[in-house]
Amino acid sequence: MVHGVIFAAWRAAIMRAMPNRWKPNVTVAAIVEHEGRFLLVEEDTADGLRLNNPAGHLDPGESPLQACVREVLEETAYDFEPEALVGVYLNRFTRTRTGDDITYLRFAFAGRVGTHHGWRTLDDGIVRAVWLTLPEIRACAERHRSPLVLQCLEDYLAGRRAPLELVHTDASVLQVPGHTRRTALT
């Protein structure tokens, strides 16, 4: 009973602090390992150069898998084929400059890269794609965009894999008014 009262008071305080209905930002991330190295991107952020998994926001009219394939291409110029769901992560972040309190819901997918399209211009803010070993990644943890960079890699290395079918996208999501209908990757 005491725990329930404490939780209710905590939840009420959180809800008062939020002016509108709370909604997490839905993001996707790719975990790609090749010959003992992991694919990361170096991003120019308000806090300086940061390392991140190839990742980004879910866009209207796409499934999480489609978003992950798109983000890897846009940020690294590699084609990406998702093979498994590594995990679903909830992370809270405060922007240094604005103090904004943001929550992210991240779907991390393991997979492999295919063709590299070296002619492609990378997304704004992406300085370069890099392949680093796990010790190199651990050694520069202070440069990670978020704690999820390493957490997703650790979960991948621990063998956490779930079938892609666990992430279902209803056909209604793929219908965006005024746009051509997409087909679900899953």
Give residue-wise pLDDT tens across range 92-118. 988 777 888 889 999 999 999 999 999
**Within a domain: 13:** no
Single pTM value for the model: 0.84
Task: Quote the CA–CA distance of 18 and 102 in Å, as a whole number.
Answer: 11
**Within a domain: 184:** no
**Within a domain: 74:** yes
**Within a domain: 41:** yes
**Within a domain: 160:** yes
**Within a domain: 185:** no
Q: Which residues pair with 62 in a beta bridge?
A: none
Q: Nearest CA to 55 among 23, 99, 91?
A: 91
What region does 175 belong to: left with phi over 0, alpha with psi -120 to 50, or beta?
Answer: beta
**For each of the chain's 186 residues, which pLDDT tens digit applies?**
556 667 666 566 655 665 577 889 999 999 999 999 999 999 999 889 999 999 999 999 999 999 999 999 999 999 999 999 999 999 998 877 788 888 999 999 999 999 999 999 999 999 999 999 999 999 999 999 999 999 999 999 999 999 999 999 999 988 767 666 555 555
Q: Could you list the beta-strand ranges (E) of 7-60.
A: 25-34, 37-45, 48-52, 55-57
- Report how many domains make up the chain: 1
Distances (CA, A) of 108 to 8, 89, 98, 167: 31, 8, 27, 11
| Residue-number span of the structural domain to which 31 is assigned | 23-174
In CATH, what number is assigned to the domain containing residue 50?
A: 3.90.79.10
